[in-house]
Amino acid sequence: MDCIFCKIAAGEVPCKKVYEDAHTLVFMDIAGDVDGHMLAIPKRHFMNILDCDEETLHGLMCTVKHVSEHLAAHCGYDGVNLLNASGESAGQSVPHFHVHIIPRKTGDGIDAWPVFDGAKLPLDETWKKIRI
Ligand code: 5GP
Ligand code: ZN
């Protein structure tokens, strides 16, 4: 499969590796948009959270937690933003499941939260449609 993150996971394309275990990999994002931007991926190909099995998801989130704890314990960071786009409609550009990790320091001035336009529907209307 012609997937850039599969190639990175297989070592066929180089990356700046931050952490690796049997099933997951964390490496630096090349975007250069914010200091410390990393991506956590499962080594197996899944498109996103919609087709990922629960065991893989569990392993990926444990890796995200492990790296986040390392950032806080040893690298001088106070928190993290975790971002994920699942599906083209959500802005996903690389179709291999990944969680963006952005390390944060108090007062760093990074704006990692989108500025939304404001809800178009009454809260109750959406809630009744999506509740399980
Ligand atoms: P998405 O828009 O799918 O949530 O994020 C994809 C991310 O992958 C982007 O932040 C982009 O910079 C990153 N990316 C795309 N190609 C490569 C690559 O070849 N190497 C690395 N390290 N990151 C990549
Ligand atoms: Zn892939």
User: Quick one: which of 35, 25, 8 has its CA closest to 112?
Assistant: 35
What pTM value is reported for the model?
A: 0.97
The single-letter code of the amino acid at 67 is V
Task: Give me the residue spans of the domains in the chain.
Answer: 4-130
CB 47 within 8 A of CB 96: yes
Q: What is the Å distance from ligand 1's center to 132 Cα?
A: 33
* Ligand number with the minimum distance to the CA of 86: 1
At 103-131, the pLDDT tens digits run 999 999 999 998 999 999 999 999 999 99
Q: From the candidates 37, 96, 98, 100, which is the catalytic residue? A: 98
Q: Does the C-beta of 85 come closer than 6 Å to ligand 1?
A: yes
Q: From the CA of 47, which ligand is nearest?
A: 2
**Residue 91's pLDDT band (cuts 50, 70, 90):** very high
| pLDDT confidence of residue 36 | 97
Q: What is the pLDDT of residue 1?
A: 75
Is 23 labeled as catalytic in the residue annotation?
Answer: no
Q: What is the pLDDT of residues 34-88, one digit of tens each?
A: 999 999 999 999 999 999 999 999 999 999 999 999 999 999 999 999 999 999 9
Query: CB neighbours (10 Å) of residue 6?
Result: 16
What CATH number labels 4-130? Answer: 3.30.428.10
* Phi and psi, residue 90, nearest 5°: -95, 0
Ligand 1 centroid distance, CA of 105 (Å): 23
Nearest to 8 by CA among 114, 54, 20: 20
Angstrom distance (rounded) from CA 108 to CA 110: 6
